[in-house]
Amino acid sequence: MAKLEVNVDHVATVRQARRIDEPDPVTAAALAELAGADGIIVHLREDRRHIQDRDLRLLRETVKTRLNLEMAATPEMLAIASEVKPDLVTLVPEKREELTTEGGLNVAGNLDFLKDYIRKLKEAGLTVSLFVDPHPEQINAAKEAGAQWVELHTGTYAEARDELTAQKLFDELLDAARHARSLGLRVKCGHGLDYVNIKRFRGRQEFEEFSIGHSIVSRAVLVGMDRAVREMLELIK
Ligand code: PXP
Q: Please state the domain extents for the chain.
A: 3-236
CATH number of 3-236: 3.20.20.70
Is the minimum distance from the CB of 213 to ligand 1 under 6 angstroms?
yes
Nearest-atom number in ligand 1 for the CA of 10 is 14
- Residue of 43, 50, 135, 179 marked catalytic: 43
Cα-to-centroid distance, 212 and ligand 1 (Å):
6
In short, whether 191's Cβ falls inside 6 Å of ligand 1 is yes
pLDDT score for 98: 72
At residue 65 the predicted structure's pLDDT band, cuts being 50, 70 and 90, is: very high
Q: Are 106 and 138 in contact (CB under 8 A)?
A: yes
CB-CB contact of 123 with 163 (8 Å): no
Least-confidence region, from 27-31, 123-127, 169-173, 202-206: 202-206
For every residue of 97-116, DSSP letters joined together read: T-SS--S----GGGHHHHHH
Spatial distance between the Cα atoms of 2 and 205, rounded to a whole number of angstroms = 7
| 191 catalytic residue (yes or no) | yes
pLDDT exceeds 80 at position 50: yes
The protein residue with its alpha carbon nearest to ligand 1, atom 9, reads: 191
137-168 pLDDT, tens digit each: 999 999 999 999 999 999 999 999 999 999 99
CB 60 within 8 Å of CB 80: no
CA of 196 to the centre of ligand 1 (A): 16
C-alpha torsion angle, residues 21, 23, 26, 28 (rounded to 10): 170
User: What number does the ligand 1 atom closest to the CA of 193 have?
Assistant: 16
pTM for the predicted model, two decimal places? 0.96
Three-class secondary structure of residue 41 per DSSP: strand
When pLDDT is averaged across residues 65-89 and rounded to a whole number, the result is 98
From 70, 94, 206, 209, the catalytic residue: 70
Q: What is the C-alpha separation between 83 and 76, in angstroms, rounded?
A: 11
Dist CA 164 CA 167 (whole Å): 5
pLDDT in tens, 85-115: 999 999 999 876 676 777 899 999 999 999 9
190 lines ligand 1 (CB under 6 A): yes
Our measurement of the distance from residue 179's CA atom to the centroid of its chain's CA atoms, rounded to an integer in Å, reads 21
Classified as helix, coil or strand, 44 is: coil
Does the structure show a pLDDT above 70 at 206? yes
Cα 102 to averaged position of ligand 1 atoms, centre (Å): 9
Rounded-to-integer distance, Cα 218 and Cα 237, Å: 29
Q: Which residue has a Cα nearest atom 12 of ligand 1?
A: 191
Q: Report CA(213)–ligand 1 centroid distance (Å).
A: 6
**What's the pLDDT at 156?**
97
Q: What is the mean pLDDT of the chain?
A: 96
